[in-house]
Amino acid sequence: MVKKLKFREDGTFVIVQFSDVEFIDAEDLDPETPLLDSMTKATMERIIAIEQPDLVVFAGDLTASARSKDPLQSFRSAVAVAEESRVAWAAVFGNHDSEGSLPRKRMHEEQLLHEYCVAQPDPPGVSGAGNYVLTIDDRAGKPAAALFFLDSGDYSPIAAVGGYDWIRRDQIEWYVSESRQLAERNGGAPLPALAFFHIPLPEYDEVWKTSVCEGHCSEWISSPKVNSGLFAAMVEMGDVMGTFVGHDHSNDYCGTLHGIRLCYGRSTRYVSYVDGMRKDKFPTGARVIRLKAGERQFETWIRQSDGLVAELPLHEPDAQLHR
Please say whether the beta carbons of 152 and 60 come within 8 A: yes
Per-residue pLDDT of the chain (323 residues; tens, 9 = 90+): 457 899 999 999 999 999 999 888 765 555 666 778 888 999 999 999 999 999 999 999 888 888 888 889 889 999 999 999 999 999 999 988 888 778 889 999 999 999 999 999 999 999 999 999 999 999 999 999 999 999 999 888 899 998 899 999 999 999 999 999 999 999 999 999 999 999 999 999 999 999 999 999 988 899 999 999 999 999 999 999 999 999 998 899 999 999 999 999 999 987 655 444 456 678 999 999 999 998 999 999 999 999 999 999 999 987 545 43
Coil, strand, or helix at residue 257?
strand
Classify the phi-psi angles of 264: left when phi > 0, otherwise alpha if psi is within -120 to 50, otherwise beta. Answer: beta
Among 266, 210, 258, 267, smallest CA distance to 236 is for 258
Please say whether the beta carbons of 166 and 120 come within 8 A: no
Distance (Å, whole) CA 231 – CA 253: 18
Structural domains of the chain sorted by starting position, each given as residue range(s) with its CATH number in brackets: 5-322 (3.60.21.10)
Distance (Å, whole) CA 125 – CA 290: 33
Q: Give Cβ neighbours of residue 312 (< 8 Å, ≥ 6 apart).
A: 214, 215, 216, 252, 253, 302
Distance (Å, whole) CA 122 – CA 139: 28
Hey, which residues does 303 pair with through a beta bridge? 286, 309
Q: Please state, rounded to an integer, the average pLDDT across all residues of the chain.
A: 91
Counting every residue written for the chain, the total comes to 323
pLDDT of amino acid 240:
98
Please say whether the beta carbons of 121 and 62 come within 8 A: no
Concatenated DSSP letters for 91-145? EE--GGGGSSSS-HHHHHHHHHTSTTB---PPPTT-SSS--EEEEEE-TTS-EEE
Please say whether the beta carbons of 130 and 91 come within 8 A: yes
